[in-house]
Chains A and B, each alone.
Chain A
Amino acid sequence: MKGGAFFENIRMSLRSIAANAVRSFLTALGVMIGTGAVIAMLALGAGAQKSVEASLQSLGSNLLLVYSGQPRGGSLVRRSTTNIVPTLSAEDLEAVRNLGPHLVELAAPESSSGGQAKFAAVNMPVTIVGTGIRYPEIRNVHPILGSFFTEQEADSRKTSVVIGHQVYQELFGGAGDPVGQKIRLNGLGYRVAGVMEPKGSSVTDSSVFIPISTFQRYVSGNPKYALINVRAASAGIMRQAQGAIEKEILRLHRLPNLDAADFYVANQLDLLDTLQGVAGTFTLLLGGIAAISLLVGGIGIMNIMLVSVTERTREIGVRMALGAKSGDIIAQFMTEAIILSVAGGLIGIALGFGASWAFSRFGGLASQVTPLSVALSFGFSVLIGLFFGGYPAYIASRMDPIQALRYE
C-alpha cells in the first residue's frame, strides 16, 4: 500500500462506518462486551488473589502450625482443633522453642473443645481454646478491651478468660466493659480479662481463650496439646524451620520418618500456594469464558464485514477498474474491520473498568483491574480485527472486476 492511501483508507472506512452507524455500533458491541468482560473477570481474579494474600497475612505472618495426628489433604487455613486427639507434649513445645531465635521466634500451644458460655440468663455455644500468652502475637489477633491473660495467670491455672468478639456481642450485647465480670464456662466461673478484636472468622470470634494449664485441668484433663502455633523468625527460613521442627519432634516421639508421624507441620507458604492456585484457576476460568465472548464478538465483525463486502461488490469492481490491486482492497476492508474492533476494544476497556468498580462498590467483591489485562484484551481486540477482518477482505480482493462491475 502506498503512503497516502493509508489515511485515505481510514477516511473512507470512517465514512462507511458512519453511513451505517447503527449496524457498526452493533458490530462493535460484541467486541466491547468481550473486552469489557475479559477486563472485569481478570480484575475479579486479581482481586481474589489479593484478598487471599490479605486474609493469610491476617492469620499471622511466617506462621507454622504443628498439628497432632496424620496429615490431612489441603491443610486448610485453620482446622478446628476440637476433634483432634492431642499428641504433642510440653516437651515437644519446649524443644520447638529451643530451636533458637534464628528459626523460631515465638511458639504457643493450643487445644480446644466445645462448650457452653453463660452470663446472667444468656447461654451460647462457644469453642473453648486453651493457649499460651504468645497466642495474640503469633495469630495476629489482639484484645480491644482489657488484656490477654498474663504469664502469671497462665502458670497458676487461674480461671481468667478472654472472649471472642461475637461472644462479647451475644453475652454482653456488644456494649460496656465486661472486664472483671464473671461468666460461666461449662458451669465453672471465669473472670473476663479481655475482649478480642473482631476477625471476621466465626472460629476466632466465637471462641473464648483461657490459659492452657487451666484448660488441661478443668476442660480436657489431658496433658497434651492438639496444636503448637509457631512464628518462624523470617519468611525466608520457613521451610528450614519446618524441617527442624519435624526432625526434632520425630526424634522425641521416636519415630523413623514423616510417613509414620503422629503430627504434621502446616506451612503458611503451602497454604498460600494452594489458595493462590485456586484463585489462579478461578481467574483462568473467568478469563476463558470472557475470551470466548470476545471471540464471538470477532465472529460478529466477520459476519458484518462479509455482508458489507457483498453489498459493495460494485464499488469493489469500480475500484479495481480504476487500478486498485488486491492489496489495496484488502487494506481497505481490513482498515474498516480494525477500526471497528479497536473502537469496540477501547469502549470495552472503559466498560471493564466500570464493571470492576461496580463489583467492588455494589457486589462487595474484591476487584482490581490490572494493566496486563488491559494490554492483553486490547491487543486481543486488534488481533480479532485482523483475523476476522482478514477473511472478508480476502474474499473482496479475489473478486473478478468484470463480474463485480456487472453486480446489481
Chain B
Amino acid sequence: MIGVTNLSRHYRMGPTTVKALDSVTFGIQSGEFVAIVGPSGSGKTTLMNILGCLDSPTGGSYILAGEETASLTSDKRAEIRGRRIGFVFQNFNLLPRENSLENVELPMIYQGIPSRVRKERARDMLRKVGLEGRERHVPSELSGGQRQRVAIARALAGDPAIILADEPTGALDTRTGGEIMELFHSLNRDGTTLILVTHDPLIARRARRVIQIQDGKILADVPSGEWTP
C-alpha cells in the first residue's frame, strides 16, 4: 500500500540545512495498523505531512497505492488526498457551521460524488462510528468524543486507501480516548489501513506495529508487542 524509499525532507535555514527527515525507508501493507511515534522535533510531523501528500519530499520516493507522489503539483496532490487519504486531526477540524452529515459529505463534494449518493454514504459512515441520530447536530452540540467520531466518519467517507490520524486522542480525556482507540481497532479489523502519529508511547503501544522516529531517522520498526520505548 505504501512504499517509502530513502525519503528525505531538508529545510534550508540560512546557511545551514536542517534534515527533518533523513533517508527513511519502510513499507506498510494494506490492513496494517501502524503507530509513528517520536518526541516533538523528531521528524514525525514532517513524515506525516509527506505521507498525507500535504508536503513534498526533497529526496527519495513515496509510492502510495501504486502511484509515485514525490514530485507532483499541488492540485494533483489535492486530488490524491481526496481520493486516497482520510485525515483525523487532534482538534477535530470540523466546519463549525455545518452539521455532522454535511461535514462527513465534504470530501465527497470535492470528488464530485452526486448529492444523493453522498448523503446516503455519509449516513452510513455516521452509523459506523456510532453516531446514528446525530446527523443534524452541529459540532458545538456534540461532545469531544462525538466530534472525533464525526471526523473519523469524514475520513472514511472518501473511501481512502489509508487513514492518517494525527494525535487523535490528544484533546480527549483518557476514557474517551480509549473509546476512540477501540473504534480504530474495530475499523482496522474490518480492513481499514491506519497510520497513527503520536508522541505518547502508551497510545503507540495500542497499535499493532510501531515505527519510532528520532532526529529524522527510524530508530525502531517492530510489532508493538516487542517495542520498548
Contact = CB atoms under 8 A, between A and B. Distances in A.
B93 A5 contact: no
Interface residues of A, number: 27
Contacts of B83: 323
B72 interface: no
* Interface secondary structure of A, over-half rule: helix
Interface in B197-222: none
Of B49, B55, B87, B93, most buried by chain A (CB within 10 Å of CB) is B93
A322 B110 contact: yes
Interface in A306-336: 314-315, 317-328
A5 B110 contact: yes
Given A16-B97, A314-B93, A323-B79, A402 B110 contact: no
Contacts of A314: 93
Nearest to B116: A4
B107 interface: yes
A391 B215 CA distance: 41
A322 B106 contact: yes
B178 to A, nearest CB: 26
B75 interface: yes
Contacts of B98: 12, 15
Contacts of B107: 322-323
A227 to B, nearest CB: 77
B112 interface: yes
Given A323-B78, A324-B78, A405-B89, A15 B97 contact: yes
B98 to A, nearest CB: 8
A325 B80 CA distance: 10
Interface string B143-181: 000000000001000100000000000000000000000
Contacts of A72: none
A54 interface: no
B140 interface: no
A136 interface: no
Contacts of A2: 110-112
B50 to A, nearest CB: 10
A405 B93 contact: yes
Interface string B67-98: 00000001100110111000101000101011
Nearest to B55: A402
A236 B87 CA distance: 79
11 contacts: A3-B112, A4-B112, A4-B114, A5-B112, A320-B78, A320-B81, A321-B54, A323-B79, A323-B81, A324-B82, A326-B74
